[in-house]
Structure 1
Amino acid sequence: MKFTFAHNNLNVYDLEKSLNFYKEALGLEVSSTKEADDGSFTLVYLGDGTTPHLLELTWLRDMDRPYELGDNEIHLAFRVTDFDAALKKHKEMGCVCFENPEMGIYFIEDPDGYWLEIVPEK
């Protein structure tokens, strides 16, 4: 028996805002969507066009407030070919929330408060 990654899920409060963020900040594109017959949820799968791994954004109709992430330390990490250009872009977007120059990484924050680690390709 062998398990392989399929996707990671993040629940989002404002789907359009999140889709715009992930496209602008990370170049992720919609690969597929699924809407509940009763309209209670929408799933949007985003891909990077290179790897088979997907990010599933889940929007729940009945969620009436932004999510409280509490002390949740979970994050997703993205490799980037041009680290300096990415850092410049993310600073211009105002989404850099933590830099660790000693480790050569930084984090950006999405509209729902999830942290995304950016690491150089090498």
Structure 2
Amino acid sequence: MAFNTEQQPGMTESVAPETRGFRLNHSMLRVKDPQRSLAFYSRVFGMRLLRKLDFPELDFSLYFLAALDEGEVVPEDVDERTRWTFSQRGILELTHNWGTEKDADFRYHDGNSKPQGFGHICFSVPDLDAAVQWLDSHEVPFVKRPDEGGIKHVAFVTDPDGYWIEILEPARLTGLGRS
């Protein structure tokens, strides 16, 4: 029998047929300076900007980024690309509220200081040691290196707005959470 789900209190035993086809498409982070954030996510994490949407009547812009697989084809037609973007998994939406970049004291809550809430986004990498070297070469600030803390083989860095980004190599985590 194929794996369905781990069972914990609160989990339903089966998937409601009405939810088949539902998929988590994107997570959104508010950013102070889109140019700085776009440079960070494209340069350091290899993400590509799929679509930018402006809402001048509401004074904000949305930037949808993805780490594309080699050879992955993204539609050139802007309407088809919009449809395609909203049908994917693992999209990062950066939301820029216009004017925040001009306010030197403006900061978003990162979710990890009190009161805690949002925690982090995560990138899995094929080689954690090489990724740490890459991040160091780009002077990305570390919250936790893979050899620090109670959970080894996992790193945390921060983006330009202070949001935490977990970095992990899946092959190193096979025994995670088991005594």
Shift of 1:97: 2.3
Is the aligned partner of 1:97 residue 2:143? yes
CA distance in 1, matches of 2:50, 2:94: 12
Percent of residue pairs bearing the same amino acid type: 29
The residue that corresponds to 2:38 in the other structure is 19
CA distance in 1, matches of 2:146, 2:124: 15
2:54 to 15, 24, 35: 35
Contact 1:77 1:116 in 2 (8 A): yes
CA distance in 2, matches of 1:4, 1:93: 33
- Say which SS state the counterpart of residue 157 (structure 2) adopts: strand
1:78 to 123, 148, 159: 123
Residue type matched to 2:135 in 1?
H
- Say which SS state the counterpart of residue 145 (structure 2) adopts: strand
The residue that corresponds to 1:66 in the other structure is 107
Residue type matched to 1:68 in 2?
H
CA distance in 2, matches of 1:33, 1:40: 14
The residue that corresponds to 1:48 in the other structure is 67
Paired residues in the alignment total 122
Higher deviation after alignment, 89-98 or 19-28? 89-98
Shift of 1:39: 6.5
* TM-score in terms of structure 1 length: 0.89
Shift of 1:94: 2.0
Question: Gaps (5+ residues) in structure 1?
Answer: none
Q: Which one has the largest radius of gyration?
A: 2
Could you say what the CA RMSD is over the residues aligned between the two structures, in angstroms?
A: 1.8
Q: Which runs of 4+ in 1 moved over 4 A?
A: none
CA distance in 2, matches of 1:81, 1:121: 8
Residue type matched to 1:103 in 2?
K
Contact 1:39 1:61 in 2 (8 A): no
CA distance in 1, matches of 2:56, 2:36: 23
Shift of 1:82: 1.9
Residue type matched to 1:87 in 2?
V
Once the two structures are superposed, what CA deviation does each residue of 1:8-47 show, in whole Å capped at 9, x if it has no partner? 0000001000000011211111011100133600100000
CA distance in 1, matches of 2:133, 2:54: 36
- Greater strand percent: which structure? 1
